[in-house]
A and B are shown apart, each in its own frame.
Chain A
Amino acid sequence: MTVNQSPAWNALTEHAKDIGQSPISKLFTSDPDRFKKLSYSAANCMLDFSKQRITQTTIEGLINLAEQQNLQQKIEALFKGDIVNPSENRPALHTALRQPEKESLIVNGTDISAEIHHSLVQMESLVDQIHNGQWRGYDGSPIKHVVNIGVGGSDLGPLMTCRALSQFAPTNIRHIDLHFVSSMDGSQLAQLLDRIDPPSTLFIVSSKSFSTIDTLANSNTAREWLINASGMSIELISQHHFIGITASPKKAAEWGIPEKNQLHFWDWTGGRYSMWSVIGMAIALKVGNSNFREFLAGANTMDSHFREAPLAENLPVLLAMIGIWNINFQDIHAHAILPYDGRLAHLPAYLEQLEMESNGKNVTLNGHSVDYATCPILWGEVGPNAQHAFYQLLHQGTESVMCDFIAPALRYQDQGEELQQQHQLALANCLAQSRLLALGDSMLDNAENSPIHKRYTGNQPSTTIMLDQLSPLSFGALIALYEHKVYVQSAIWEINPFDQWGVELGKQVATSLLNDFENTNNTNNDSSTDGLIRFVLQQRQTARNKEDATQDHVSQTGKESNQ
């Protein structure tokens, strides 16, 4: 029996028909205590579900579904290190990465807690060395620029967190400029290399497999740049300008990174769950080692809550189950992430990977195709800016969209009143938008007299996530909240959230296409692919002809003047 034929699922289908009669505006008028009943707090986060198309009966039904899917046992399995990623035959132990040092965790006879903390201490010592100006480049200069080369999980998490928490950097480490480079086409790197100084630049190459072509292409270019600038050997440059962060020490060594410049994590750390490991070195460089530890501690608070709180009061569980409700019982397949705080600018991109790479799956753990929806399309933008872009569609389009509004209650506490006013303005906009989306123009007097193109039907559900304030602690908890939400949804859908086979084949096809760019007459592929390759080759030929013509002209005029 698949989950969508189960009793708990069927009960929810029936319940959805009842709820269908009541738009969100009506749910509010029928229960003045709605906010009180449907908002929950834990681990520095407050979640308000009252603007969802739900009642307490819905929550009861959803918790029944979770219980039916043995969620509590599955949560335990995650924490204990059971094989929760069967297609790659490994556990997913990102929670262990933020566990306090004193708690040991034995997996396959090894205390991985000790290994984790050993690795963190190693990272901290490198970070200190760089902060103290005692990591030296080839001419003896201290490092001023650190470039994180990585893609996906080795980029998005650290990039997001550095942006979110940069204000917490102690002043004595702010002399280090941190840069992120990910795109395989080299456009970010090329721009950056023009602006920075070779002897004071250190590259962190972050790659779990140390075979990611995007990352290695950028790293090779970076190394050539240093060799050309210094005139030094590849060995010396690799030794003094590269740190490798990887789960494949051998591959990193083959590329040229000496053992002492390597930081290790493990195959049981998924790429998109890896910023809590030494992959977070960029974060520690940006905000300091102690803030990085705070960030881990914040996530750990959410972990404990997730593991221990009853399902009906469990924030990640509720967030996930209400998502399931929207996707599978309200037929909503678009999810907007809308932070009302510019520091969270990279959160949408991060969650795109976390959710869509984890749960964008159509096969169950038992190898059957699913016949129900899984992960929706997720996108987002800093809320106030998105108001000037896609909110039109949210309010008056034809798509049902669920939204997460995210904001800190307090900001700029120790700064000017003007800035506090700006934050209040942002909060007012946040609340106005979620209110209007939920209630439509029904909350206004005489709305029905407006012309139809000015009407708002509302009934778009949203969750508001409020942090007391944005700090390493609360931000760690926020990210862990989403990680666990993804896990809960995968447990309901019976899919594996920890593999990503859907990104493999494209890489292989790309490798095989490389050769076709050498041959004008190739007919190896479909006519579209061959046609596009031919177009590129023709452009190349035209450019070459032009160049030759110019050179001929130059040499001709040269000859003439000699005569």
Chain B
Amino acid sequence: MKIKVYGADLTAWVAAACLARSGNDVTIEGQNIPKDKPLYDISILRDEPGLLEQIQLQVKEGRLKRNSKTSDTADIYWLALEHGEYDQAQKLIVQLGEQTTENLLIINQCNFGVGASDQLQALLNEDANQAIVYIPNNLQEGQALQGFSQPKRIIIGSDNNWAITATRALIKPYLQNIEHLQIMSCREAEFTKFAITGMLAIRLGYINELANLADKLDVDIDTIRDGMGADPRVGSHYLSPGCGFGGQNFNQYIARFSEIFENKGHNSLLKTVITENEIQKELLFRKLWQHYQCDLTDKAVAIWGASFKPGTASIDNAPSLKIIDALLAQGVHVKVHDPEALNNLRQHYAQETRISFCDSAYSAAADCHALLLVTEWPEYWSPDYMRLLDQMHTPLIIDGRNVFDKEALEMYGFIYIGVGR
């Protein structure tokens, strides 16, 4: 199949890589990506594990091209534009409708809101089998390739039988592990996508709120969480308390969904979750501030983990940024380690002289008055405690993801502060 993918962000690249890998002839059209920019210079590709290599391979094999002539036609068009690019989507669809006389299949994965696919469909001639199919984007940063090529669940949003059959054929190679495939209207599919993302955010917001309360009531949130998770009505997914969630895709969907609620005159629960999450991102700073009695003058603080979650180099909306900003504003010397995200962080803080970007976790911790674990990369889970004790100025560990054993650390001689315990 000849497929054109429109978009410049992670969703577009992942779709292009996976569709090409399955033998399709793919072109990716991203208005912001200059064709001559080397692939390894595109940070989205570097940040997602395996993506850059896969893209390079597909380009080399000749199955993936960048920015063709716009007049070239394809069998299928794949829309993965950013949520602010609705006008461009409209223009594109009108143009595709005009230049195509035969069947036209457009897969929409954009976060344009509920009803957007129907509005785009209205620009086409459905009687002539010009159809838009909405497939919710299930992208999870850090596991994006696997998520696309071996999904457990897929929703196809369409009322058009011809389009549904054509879409099934297109995604056939990715259905080996499928547990649930559901077909519904575009509007319902769009709503479902928002509803799932919103539910996850609310669970995270709730467990964080519980953890903050546990802090004050002197109970251990881990015990509470185990108890909650054992109840099948609750389950244990998305119940890890911590210092806030980040990332680009997840946040955009939640923000957009909250807007939809607001536009319909509802005071959204999600809006509260978003606001509280921003506050939660500074939790580790507040714990540090309280520990040092509101005075961080001349302190040095280590940050372990800067990406918004393990497995990605992306720092979009990452809690680490808010913590670092707060520390810098208090005149703290910040020493950061992250296995993947240091380059992104260096660019973000290009003008800042009071940050050290450290090659090893231990060199970051050396001479520090506190160690803040912000992102739970596996390499931090079991450090050489004696070496840390030896190197740190003050053995204070503030564990933003509850990865360490509190009792063990206290036994070694650390001052341990977790989230909700």
Contacts and interface: CB of A to CB of B under 8 A. Distances in A.
A and B together in one complex: yes
Interface of A: 129, 132, 134, 136, 138-142, 236, 239-240
A140 B290 contact: yes
A140 B325 contact: no
B329 A239 contact: no
A134 B287 CA distance: 15
Nearest to A135: B329
B282 A140 contact: yes
A134 B327 CA distance: 9
Nearest to B279: A141
B285 A140 contact: yes
Contacts of A138: 290, 294
Interface in B274-303: 279, 282, 285-290, 293-294
**Secondary structure at chain B's binding surface: helix, strand, loop or mixed?**
helix
Contact of B289 (A129, A132, A140, A239): A140
Contact of A240 (B285, B294, B326): B294
B293 A236 contact: yes
Contact of A136 (B287, B293, B294): B294
Given A134-B325, A139-B289, A240-B294, 8 more contacts: A132-B329, A134-B326, A134-B329, A136-B326, A136-B330, A140-B282, A140-B290, A236-B294
A239 B294 contact: yes
Contacts of B329: 129, 132, 134
Given A132-B329, A134-B325, A134-B326, A140 B293 contact: no
30 contacts: A129-B329, A132-B329, A134-B325, A134-B326, A134-B329, A134-B330, A136-B294, A136-B326, A136-B330, A138-B290, A138-B294, A139-B286, A139-B289, A139-B290, A140-B282, A140-B285, A140-B286, A140-B287, A140-B288, A140-B289, A140-B290, A140-B294, A140-B326, A141-B279, A141-B286, A142-B282, A236-B293, A236-B294, A239-B294, A240-B294
> Which among A138, A140, A141, A240 has the highest number of chain B CB atoms within 10 Å?
A140
Interface string B106-138: 000000000000000000000000000000000
Interface residues of B, number: 14
Nearest to B288: A140
Nearest to A134: B329
Contacts of B279: 141
B234 to A, nearest CB: 30
A380 B132 CA distance: 65
A264 B329 CA distance: 23
A139 B289 CA distance: 7
Nearest to B329: A134
A296 to B, nearest CB: 27
* 8 closest cross-chain pairs (CB), A and B: A140-B286, A140-B289, A134-B329, A240-B294, A140-B285, A236-B294, A139-B286, A138-B294
Nearest to B286: A140
Contacts of B330: 134, 136
A83 B258 CA distance: 62
Contacts of B325: 134
Contacts of A240: 294
Contacts of B288: 140
A31 B194 CA distance: 73
A136 B290 CA distance: 11
Nearest to A141: B286
Contacts of B290: 138-140
Contacts of B286: 139-141
A24 B412 CA distance: 93
Contacts of A140: 282, 285-290, 294, 326
> Which among B294, B325, B326 has the highest number of chain A CB atoms within 10 Å?
B294
A207 B259 CA distance: 44
Interface in B321-342: 325-326, 329-330
Contacts of A141: 279, 286
Nearest to B291: A140
B325 to A, nearest CB: 7
Nearest to A138: B294
A51 B279 CA distance: 58
Contacts of B293: 236
Nearest to A237: B294
A138 B289 CA distance: 8
A132 B287 CA distance: 20
B146 to A, nearest CB: 38
B305 to A, nearest CB: 20
Contacts of A239: 294
Contacts of B282: 140, 142
A129 B325 CA distance: 12
B142 to A, nearest CB: 29
A139 B285 CA distance: 10
A240 B294 CA distance: 8
A545 B206 CA distance: 51
A463 B286 CA distance: 57
Contacts of A132: 329
A239 B294 CA distance: 9
Nearest to A236: B294
A240 B293 CA distance: 11
Nearest to A233: B293
B405 to A, nearest CB: 26
A240 to B, nearest CB: 5
A274 to B, nearest CB: 30
> Which among B293, B325, B329 has the highest number of chain A CB atoms within 10 Å?
B329
A525 B165 CA distance: 100
